[in-house]
Amino acid sequence: MRCITCEQWSFQIICKSCQTTLLQPTLYKRQLDEDFFVYSFYSYEELQDLLNTKYEFFGDKVFNILAKLSFDKFSSTFNYPEQIISIPIDDHTRHEFSQSAILARHTKSSYITPIYSTLKANNKIKYAGKNLEFREKNPRRFKYTGKNDIKVILIDDLVTTGLTLIEARKKLLQHKCQTLFALTLCDAKF
């Protein structure tokens, strides 16, 4: 097969050369609320074409590579005095796979345990390409079915306005869950 970034022959959908030269993560930090931060590994411009593979049959392979390069590295160096749960936001399957579930799986470590299918949006409206006003008028209306009184890292593929992450955090607070921070693959602001 050919690498989808450089079109050279490769055994993987993204060749090792592109993984080591083009896709090395840089940690970005953005404050979303008074005491709530999101950390992202790439800017949106760096990954725009690769993010759109979530609509393709091979997108899961792309997201696994991106997660291995970023979330795996993060979780291998992260430590905390107690166990933390990573929760993917709205990890239902849209196109044969859930990108947020793939990312959460790559947070698994001795300090982080991913838990799936616990934070679901009741509003299935897509935010892609929508402005802030549209997003504010159409909240996700999350339902949380996980454990109460836990420490959490929220996981998503992209942060744009931050409204989804803030709304998810508020829902978790209703269940006495402390969100330490959010992790996203990329940030549209940088």
* Whole-Å CA distances, 156 to 1, 13, 68, 102, 107: 29, 22, 15, 10, 12
pLDDT exceeds 90 at position 139: no
Burial class for 149, CB neighbours closer than 10 Å (0-12, 13-18, 19+): exposed
pLDDT at 177: 98
Burial class for 154, CB neighbours closer than 10 Å (0-12, 13-18, 19+): buried
Q: What is the pLDDT of residues 16-41, one digit of tens each?
A: 999 999 999 999 999 999 999 999 99
Q: How confident is the model at residue 89 (pLDDT cuts 50, 70, 90)?
A: very high
User: 67 and 105 in contact (C-beta within 8 Å)?
Assistant: yes
Q: How confident is the model at residue 95 (pLDDT cuts 50, 70, 90)?
A: low
Share of the chain above pLDDT 70, in %: 97
Rounded distance between C-alpha atoms, residue 3 and residue 185, angstroms: 20
- Inter-residue long-range contacts of 77-83, CB under 8 Å, 24+ positions, other chains counted: 78/109, 78/111, 78/112, 79/111, 80/111, 80/151, 80/180, 82/151, 83/111, 83/112, 83/113, 83/151
Map tokens 């725009």 to a residue. 48
The mean pLDDT of the chain is 93
**For the chain, domain boundaries:** 25-187
Domain covering 25-187, topology: Rossmann fold (3.40.50)
pLDDT at 93: 63
Q: How confident is the model at residue 71 (pLDDT cuts 50, 70, 90)?
A: very high
Task: Work out the average pLDDT over 77-94.
Answer: 88
The answer to which of 59-63, 93-97, 138-142, 175-179 has the lowest mean pLDDT is: 93-97
Task: Work out the average pLDDT over 8-21.
Answer: 96
Q: What is the pLDDT of residues 121-135, one digit of tens each?
A: 888 777 777 777 887
pLDDT at 42: 97
User: 150 and 85 in contact (C-beta within 8 Å)?
Assistant: yes
User: 89 and 58 in contact (C-beta within 8 Å)?
Assistant: no
pLDDT at 136: 82
DSSP annotation of 55 reads: G
pLDDT exceeds 80 at position 91: no
